[in-house]
Amino acid sequence: AKAAGRNTLRFFDPSMQAIVTARAALNADLRLGLQQSQFQLYYQPQVDGEGRPTGAEALLRWQHPQRGMVAPIEFIPAVEESGLIIPLGHWVLETACTQLKAWAAREETANLNLAVNVSPRQFRQPDFVERVLAMLERIGADPRKLKLELTETLLLDNVEQTIEKMAALKARGVGFSLDDFGTGYCSLSYLKHLPICQLKIDRTFVKDILSNPSDAAITKVILTLAQSMGLTAIAEGVETEAQRDFLANQGCVAYQGYLFGRPMPLAEFEQFLMRTTTP
Ligand code: C2E
Ligand code: CA
Ligand code: CA
Ligand code: CA
């Protein structure tokens, strides 16, 4: 009883205690999951104005023996906080680059791009640039087919260093897409200094684009902004023809969303490609 309070934290709120215990169990599970290859990448098609696939976004899935299929929203925050995002993010990049290399070998898939989400903590690792370049080299994947999706959160500190790292990767051909654009804190004055090639219009704007004039206006601004800065823009979360037509009328020529295809396992994605590219 004497030692209590020294090395142990006391929780007076039992629900808080429950949360901490659950988080610890999740972390242990995640560590084991990484060792036991319980993670896989799903591929969600990205299409052009004619609906032709131009590539995919790689999205992480966790197939847990008891928990079942766990969505990233349920484990990415824990993985970020614990630092496990470093090995896990590395695995994601490695898997994505290996896939790009495999696609490059076949004519029908040779032009596909792959977008990969990179968390701020992962990007901030001092050796991030070197590791990515070494990986591309070792695997023999074309850097020009790799697109890293970064969020505006990344720019909250160390902007100069961030730009330097992005520029080093860009010099080798790696592209950057600014994910969830418009939902964060990115000031427009930063934007012009960022070596990005794409703005990604967040799903929250696309969702109510037909009924909410503000969302329609924001979308329009993003599309115009991208165009005038020489960037491409891609709309995410496009679920209906009406949303797609509305976006097309505003000049959008790149889409991602359930209307075109859900995130799917590799084999299914390759079948999807066969269906959509053969006449
Ligand atoms: P995100 O990068 O914004 O990814 C898009 C999310 O929207 C995906 O959720 C996708 O399944 C979902 N989505 C796509 N089209 C539609 C649609 O038409 N309607 C609706 N309702 N949803 C759509 P998901 O796969 O659950 O991923 C959630 C988030 O987890 C991602 O958001 C991303 O921030 C994070 N994430 C996923 N994979 C990775 C990864 O490998 N590394 C990191 N750091 N984060 C990841
Ligand atoms: Ca993304
Ligand atoms: Ca997004
Ligand atoms: Ca989003």
Is 11 or 255 the better-scoring residue by pLDDT?
A: 255
215 pocket-lining for ligand 1 (C-beta < 6 Å) = no
The type of residue at 30 is L
Which pLDDT does position 69 carry in this prediction?
Answer: 93
258 pocket-lining for ligand 1 (C-beta < 6 Å) = yes
Model confidence at 3, pLDDT cuts 50, 70, 90, reads very low
Q: Is the pLDDT of residue 4 over 60?
A: no
Model confidence at 23, pLDDT cuts 50, 70, 90, reads confident
Identify which of 39, 59, 124, 269 to mutate to test ligand 1's pocket (most ligand atoms within 8 A of the CB): 59
46 bridge partner residues? 55, 256
Ligand 3 centroid vs 20 CA: distance in angstroms? 29
72 pocket-lining for ligand 1 (C-beta < 6 Å) = yes
Question: pLDDT tens-digit profile of 60-84?
Answer: 999 999 989 999 999 999 999 989 9
149-153, 168-172, 209-213, 263-267 — which is least confidently predicted?
149-153
Which pLDDT does position 273 carry in this prediction?
Answer: 95
Which pLDDT does position 1 carry in this prediction?
Answer: 43
Which pLDDT does position 2 carry in this prediction?
Answer: 44
6-10, 121-125, 219-223, 252-256 — which is least confidently predicted?
6-10
By DSSP bridging, strand 39-48 and strand 175-181 are unpaired
Which pLDDT does position 22 carry in this prediction?
Answer: 85
Output the six-digit token pair for 116. 């990969």
Atom number of ligand 1 nearest to Cα 118 = 44
Report the nearest-CA residue for atom 34 of ligand 1.
117
Ligand 1 centroid vs 12 CA: distance in angstroms? 36
Q: Is the pLDDT of residue 85 over 80?
A: yes
Model confidence at 8, pLDDT cuts 50, 70, 90, reads low
Residue 218's Cβ-side half-sphere holds a number of Cα atoms within 13 Å equal to 21
Question: pLDDT tens-digit profile of 164-185?
Answer: 999 999 999 999 999 999 887 7
- Judge contact between 252 and 235, C-beta under 8 A: yes
Q: Residue 272: which H helix or E strand, with range?
A: helix 266-277
Atom number of ligand 1 nearest to Cα 263 = 11
Which pLDDT does position 9 carry in this prediction?
Answer: 59
Ligand 4 centroid vs 58 CA: distance in angstroms? 14
CA distance 6 to 19: 21
103-117, 137-151, 154-168 — which is least confidently predicted?
154-168
Report the nearest-CA residue for atom 13 of ligand 1.
237
243 pocket-lining for ligand 1 (C-beta < 6 Å) = no
Question: pLDDT tens-digit profile of 123-141?
Answer: 999 999 999 999 999 999 9
Mean pLDDT value of segment 225-233: 95
